[in-house]
Structure formats: structure tokens, C-alpha cells
Structure 1
């Protein structure tokens, strides 16, 4: 097949998410499968250019994965000035992202980025405007839409399984160690507001696109935040004060009257089948979906529990639910969610195929996070206006 090369400047690949999900499990995985088939005997071949602040770490990654050692740089401006670079990808700290994306758009590069796209709504909207004026392709990572459990949940919604949907309840989180007797599983900047940390800005952008795509846009938000663990230790074992929230408890009213409640916490011990689960209840049936699995209970098979606190429970409530099958075509598999979206974005760049998860979608996530923080600070429910450019 003819090979069409697309050079992608990848900024932030020394971080956990940038390295594992975007470099290894997406871009390198596309290369391992022989490229991305475009049709007509042509494949798109991604060539990553590794960008960051630590040259030795970037060179180590390039050597580990057999990449061109010359395609490594700590000079973002020089990389963006290279006419041979087609796409700029950003997985940096949130506080550094907006300025880098502005530079990339100004340089005429297509941009693909992690969330949140900026630290505030004004900056996020301006990025979307600039990209539109520049005429570049732009996309924002919204990976959870492509996960098996939520794809099965979407299938149920679109098939009318639930009847009239009444409510959505989500539980996300796990215990992130404080860094004293066990190392923390998340970087310390996540807990410093001055560095763009906090679980609201991290997770509310996810909840915005999931709720919008599956059930309808958010119309109001009411949130309570907490910093349950105010003192932690950083990567060097030094104690620091956590200035950002590590938990948020949100109630969202959606278009059509659906009520969604989602708890997000880095200070909760897991008693679920998966680290995130959503229960959807409707007049005709209910479902519980995680990242990979989805279980249902139809109206016709709903048991008749009777409240009696004086007797032990004799039935297994979990055992009364039915697993939703994969129902994939022959030879089809559930691919990595990050890789699946990367492939759609690259087809958007190469073939101008339709693509909806753009910088305006990213701005909606920033808007919901900003309003969630304002709701918690003011102690009241806030409206969520629909964004337009």
C-alpha cells in the first residue's frame, strides 16, 4: 500500500497518560498494525516528534521504541516552525496547555489535545475561535465514549431499552495514597490549585461529554467540593499542603428533566466492580455500566423487594441482573478507547471526515467545571448556558 506520512508533535509524552495511552497504546499501536487504512490502497503512517522539557527522558523513550532519535526536541517553537510537522498534540500540565495550543494554531498546525483545554472558559472559547478562523482541524480527547461498557450503554439508550429515562447515578474514584507509607498513584500537581490541579477540572469535562452524548446536555449544576486529605507528600517525599479539592459531589439536571448524580473522589476505597460505574434507571428497565461491562434488569424481570430490617437478606440483588453481550462482528474487537478516537481524528485530518469532538466541545467541559467550582463556592445551583462561537 502507498504510505502517507503524518508527522505529529507530541508534547507531554513523559507523563503517565501521554506515554501509556497516547504514545504507546495509540500512535505506536497504529504503526504496529501497519498504519491507518484510508482506502484506495493508501495508509496513513504516523511519525511522532517527541516534545518536552527533559531531553534525556525523551531520548530514552525514542530509543526504547525504535523512533528517530533526531525527532526529539525541547524547543516547542522550533518544532512548530517546522513545515513538515502536521499535527500538534498536547498532554502537558493543564496550566501550560492553553499557551502551547495557541502557538500551534497560530503556526497553522492541526491540534489534538487532552482536557481541560484551558484553565478557564474564556481561554477555552478563544482557542475554539482561533482554530476556526485559522481553518485548522481540532479535536479534544473524550476517550470514555469509546470504552466497551459505555458503548453497550449507548446501544441500550439508542434502542429504547430504558423507556423514559428517569435518573443517572455515577460513582468514580479510588484511594490515592498520601505518599507517606506508600507512593501516590497520581502526580502531586493534581492537588495544587496553583498548578491547575483539582478533581473538578479533571473530571467534570468527562461528565459533560458523557451526559451530553448519552442522555442530553446539562442544564443546571449543583456541587459540593472537599479537600478530604489536606496534607500529602510529593514525588521526593516532601510534605506539601493540598490546595485543590480531592472530591466533588455533583447533581446535574439534564435537558428533558433527567437527574444525574455523580460522585468523584480520590479519597474513597472501592467497593464496585470497576473504578467508575453508572446506573441508569428508566420506566422500562435499568442498567449498570462500567468501563468494560454492562448489566441490565428489564421491567419484566424486576424482583419485588420488601423492606424488612428485622430479617437478614436472603436474595442476591447483584445476581438478578443480566450481562449485556459484546455482539461484535466477526473479527471485530473492542479497541483501546484512546486509539479509537485518535484514528477518527487522523481520518478527519487526512480525509476531512466529519468529527464533532472539537475545541468547542472541550470548552463545554471547561464551562461545566468552572460552574461546578462556582456552585460549590456560592452554595447554590447554577444554570449552564449553551455555548456558541
Structure 2
């Protein structure tokens, strides 16, 4: 067995998502399984090089996981010819400049979403990567959740017939930070720091809708800042200036309509933190992070509306669970493996920086639609 090493500069791993999902549950998990099998007796071995601004934090992470490579000097890391890939999980405002440097240094780039703070910046990154001939990708992790993979299976099998509508509910209560610590960083709630649920979640909804049901052709949105006072990591109060809830209506190519509510100011009364209900002429499905339930047309019961009597129907029991039929790995790890195979073997990979730019475009147009109180068409981006 031949082991081929790929060195990956990881910028932003001191943050929650960069550390838990990308470092620990993806690249270190690949190492724990013995590397990524490329076939033909070759295994790809990811070697993370941790990059960050605070030396003690980055050094401690490297020590904790037995990693030799770490630095606070991004330019020095990018000038190292042994580094093959640059990954960015920084705050969005810091991402474009770092990614441009990586592309100029000839590194393949893989970035968290959103790729940039605006569409022009996202398209520029895609153009630069194409012109430099480097491989590039954007994290689109929701596509690899077990529940949505089951949902994709239903779509591809024609289970729904004609898809009529998609209804999504996402969110949970994020504590204000006074009596209980907030589960999200305070910058998420300051517009001046790039925060806001629209710019955070609408890029997710774009690729979910695009990949499963069709391109988004128009958007309407309403944004709100429901909780206006919060407390930061140091216990200091601050004014929340970013939206913590966004309510969107999306028209899709083919005629289906999607409605998705996103909120960090809602208490969960559903089976998961995110759920999508898809209704079609031949059947319906409800998918969460892991599970997916269906109700085909042939066994759809006949509901009776009677406001004078308590309902005796157990509506949830009228749905059938979609079996796993396979083992589902961590979604972030699954996409990392696909990207690394793309880098090593030139296998097809469609979740590139242009795909990431579509998400930025949708968020940008949603902000405009909300500000102007109208429906806005979403132009198709050139590949």
C-alpha cells in the first residue's frame, strides 16, 4: 500500500465549525480510518497545517491532536511548496483576501460558505481560480445529511410525481447570553461584523433547492431582529443589529414554490432542528437531519375538518419511515473526501466556487427583496 500525503493549510480552525466539523470530524477522522483509499493500492493521507491569528490557541490545538504543522503567518504557509490545499473557515469578511493569496500561490482552495460578502467578490474568486487552473470547492454540507440524501433518493426515483411545494423550518432558541451563554458567537448578531441569518442560511437553501428541486428563479423575503439586546462572550450587553430571523418564498424552475423560515429566536417543536416537507402529485415526504418519512398518494388518508370535536387521528403515525439502506458518514467528511478525490484523481466535482457564488447571489437578492418589499427575479449565473 502506497501512502500519498496531501498537506492542507486550515485557516479558521479555532472556531467552532472549523474545529469540530472540518478538523476533528473530517480530516482527523479520515486519518483515523487509515487515510482515503484512492484505489490501485494508494491511500491519500491528509496532513493539516493549522493557521490562525492567536499563537497559543493554534499551538494548543496542534499539540492536542499530535500535529506538527501550525503557524500564525499565512503568507509563509502559502509560500511553502509542500502545501497543496488551502481551506478557509474564517469569518466571511476575512475570506476573500486570504483565498486570493492562496490562488495566486497555486494552491487548490476549499472554502466555507458564504465564499465572499457579496456576489461580485464571490464571482471574482471563481474567475481567479479558473484562470489559475487550481481546483476549487465550496462547502455545501446539507446535501450530505442522511435525511436529505434519502430525500434525493425519492426525487431521483420519481416518488413525488410533479413537485408542488417545499416547506422548510430551520432554527432554535439562541440564548441572549445574560443568564445562559449563547450557543453562537456574538458577531453573528452584529450587521457591521457581517452577521445575520439571511447571509448565513440563504446560501444553504440555495444549494438544497437547486440540487434537489430546481434552480431558484425568484425570491421574496422578510427579515426581522426579534431579540434586540444580547450579551457577548465577555458578559457585556450589546445591541443586536443583524437579523435573527428571515422568512423566504422562492419560485423554482419547473413551477414549484418553496417557503423556508429561518430563525434563531424560535423554540423547537418538531423532530429536528431543520425539517423540509415536500408535497407532490404522487406523494409527500418530511426530511430532517437524519430521518425521512413518506406518505404515498395511494395510502393518503382522507382528513375531515371538524372544529367542534377533538381530532382522534394520529397524523404522524400515518407516515412511513424511509430505511437507511446504507451507512451515512458525517456530511462534512463525505464532501471533504469527494474534494480530495477531485484534487488527487481529477474526479468530477460540481460544488465549486461558482456554485458557492449562487448562494451569495440569493442572499444578496433576498436582502434587497426584503428592503424593497417586493419579489425579485434571480438571474442564472454563467458556469
TM-score scaled by length of structure 1: 0.98
**What is residue 371 of structure 2 aligned with on the other side?**
377
**What is residue 76 of structure 2 aligned with on the other side?**
78
Counterparts of 1:57 and 1:218, CA distance in 2: 41
1:110 matches 2:108: yes
Counterparts of 1:88 and 1:135, CA distance in 2: 14
**What is residue 333 of structure 2 aligned with on the other side?**
339
Q: 1:241 aligns with which of 239, 242, 246?
A: 239
Counterparts of 1:72 and 1:354, CA distance in 2: 31
Helix, strand or coil at the partner of 2:143: helix
Shift of 1:385: 0.2
CA contact 1:114–1:141 (8 Å) conserved in 2:
yes
Counterparts of 1:296 and 1:147, CA distance in 2: 17
Residues 332-353 of structure 1: per-residue CA shift (max 9 Å, x gap): x210000000000000000100
Q: 2:138 aligns with which of 136, 140, 143?
A: 140
Shift of 1:43: 0.5
**What is residue 67 of structure 1 aligned with on the other side?**
67
1:315 matches 2:309: no
Shift of 1:180: 0.5
Trace 1:170-249 onto structure 2 (pairs within 5 A). 170-249=168-247
Helix, strand or coil at the partner of 2:276: strand
Residues 12-51 of structure 1: per-residue CA shift (max 9 Å, x gap): 0010000000000000000000000111111100000000
Counterparts of 1:99 and 1:59, CA distance in 2: 24
CA contact 1:94–1:195 (8 Å) conserved in 2:
no
Shift of 1:193: 1.0
**What is residue 47 of structure 1 aligned with on the other side?**
47
Name the Cα RMSD after superposition: 0.6
Helix, strand or coil at the partner of 1:30: helix
Query: Following TM superposition, where does structure 1 have runs of at least 4 consecutive aligned residues deviating by more than 4 angstroms?
Result: none
Counterparts of 1:155 and 1:216, CA distance in 2: 15
Shift of 1:243: 1.1
Counterparts of 1:92 and 1:148, CA distance in 2: 27
Counterparts of 2:376 and 2:5, CA distance in 1: 47
Counterparts of 1:300 and 1:388, CA distance in 2: 41
**What is residue 275 of structure 1 aligned with on the other side?**
273
**What is residue 366 of structure 1 aligned with on the other side?**
360
Helix, strand or coil at the partner of 1:156: helix
Counterparts of 1:258 and 1:315, CA distance in 2: 29
**What is residue 130 of structure 1 aligned with on the other side?**
128
What stretches of structure 2 of length at least 5 have no aligned partner?
none
Q: How many correspondences in the alignment?
A: 383
1:294 matches 2:288: no
1:57 matches 2:54: no
Counterparts of 1:20 and 1:207, CA distance in 2: 22
Counterparts of 1:84 and 1:308, CA distance in 2: 70
Counterparts of 1:23 and 1:313, CA distance in 2: 49
Counterparts of 1:120 and 1:339, CA distance in 2: 27
CA contact 1:246–1:265 (8 Å) conserved in 2:
yes
Helix, strand or coil at the partner of 1:45: strand
Counterparts of 1:158 and 1:230, CA distance in 2: 43
Shift of 1:224: 0.2
Counterparts of 1:43 and 1:314, CA distance in 2: 57
**What is residue 17 of structure 1 aligned with on the other side?**
17
Shift of 1:374: 0.4
Shift of 1:195: 1.1
**What is residue 4 of structure 1 aligned with on the other side?**
4
Shift of 1:92: 0.4
Shift of 1:204: 0.5
